[in-house]
Amino acid sequence: DAMVIQNPRYQVTQFGKPVTLSCSQTLNHNVMYWYQQKSSQAPKLLFHYYDKDFNNEADTPDNFQSRRPNTSFCFLDIRSPGLGDAAMYLCATSRDPGQTQETQYFGPGTRLLVL
Amino acid sequence: AQTVTQSQPEMSVQEAETVTLSCTYDTSESDYYLFWYKQPPSRQMILVIRQEAYKQQNATENRFSVNFQKAAKSFSLKISDSQLGDAAMYFCAYRTDNSGNTPLVFGKGTRLSVIA
C-alpha cells in the first residue's frame, strides 16, 4: 500500500562524502518534490520535477542535485555534505501542478546525519 | 512573496476536548488554496484538510474543521473530541492558484500534545 517510498529511512555519512537519497512512488504522479526539514522547522522546498522538467528553487545550494530517470524514481544527490546539511529529507508527489488544489503525498522521509 | 504564520509553537489539549490551531497568511492573490498537514513523530506528513479560497463554506473532515476568514487572511484548524493519535506537528500551508509549478509555502508548525 505504500505510495511514496524513501530509502533509506536513516542515512549516516561523513563530512564531504557524497550521498544519494532515493524516492519512489506507485501513484504515477507527474510531479516529485524534495524538501529539507530541519528540527522543529517547516519543510523547505529544494526542487521539483514536473515530468522531466527540473525546477530548482533560487536559494537551493549547488551542493544539492537531483535526478529523475523515470516517472517512478527520483534521487537527491548531496555532493559534499556539510554538518549543516543534517536534516530530514522529504520526498513528495502530486498529480499535476496545474491542478493547484492537488494534494501532495509525502514519503516517510530520510533522516541524514553528517559526522 | 506569500508568507504563512503559525503563532503558536506548542499547544496542548485534554483528550476529548476541542483545540484550535491558528494560522494567518499574507498574499496579494485572490485565488489560492490552503492546507493543514499533520506530521506525527517519526511518521510521514499527511493532509488533514484543505480549503479553496473561492469557497465561502468552511471545509470539514470528520473531527477536523477550519475557520476560514478570507478578509482577515486567517485559516484556523479546529480539532474536536481530541484523541491521543492527534498528537503531532501541524503545518499550515498555502498554494497560489496559477498555472505552472507553484510550491507549497509552509508555516513553521504547531506542536500539539494530547493529555490523557
**Interface probe, candidates B101, B105, B110, B112, chain A, greatest A C-beta count within 10 A:** B101
Q: What is the mean pLDDT of residues A84-112?
A: 84
The answer to whether the CB atoms of A41 and B109 lie below 8 A apart is: yes
Shortest distance between the Cα of B64 and any Cα of chain A, in A, equals 17
CATH number at residue A38: 2.60.40.10
Q: What is the SS3 string spanning A48-111?
A: EEECCEEEECCCCCCCEEEECCCCCEEEEEECCCCHHHCEEEEEEEECCCCCCCCCCEECCCEE
pLDDT of residue A94: 86
**Read out DSSP for B75-88?**
EEEEE-S--GGG-E
Reply yes or no on whether the pLDDT at A11 is more than 70. Answer: yes
Residue A1's pLDDT band, with cuts at 50, 70 and 90, is low
In chain B, what are the domains?
A: 3-115 (2.60.40.10)
Structural domain boundaries enclosing A14: 4-114
Tell whether the model's pLDDT for residue B54 goes beyond 60.
Answer: yes
Q: What is the mean pLDDT of residues A42-66?
A: 91
Q: Per-residue confidence at A12, pLDDT binned at 50, 70, 90? A: very high
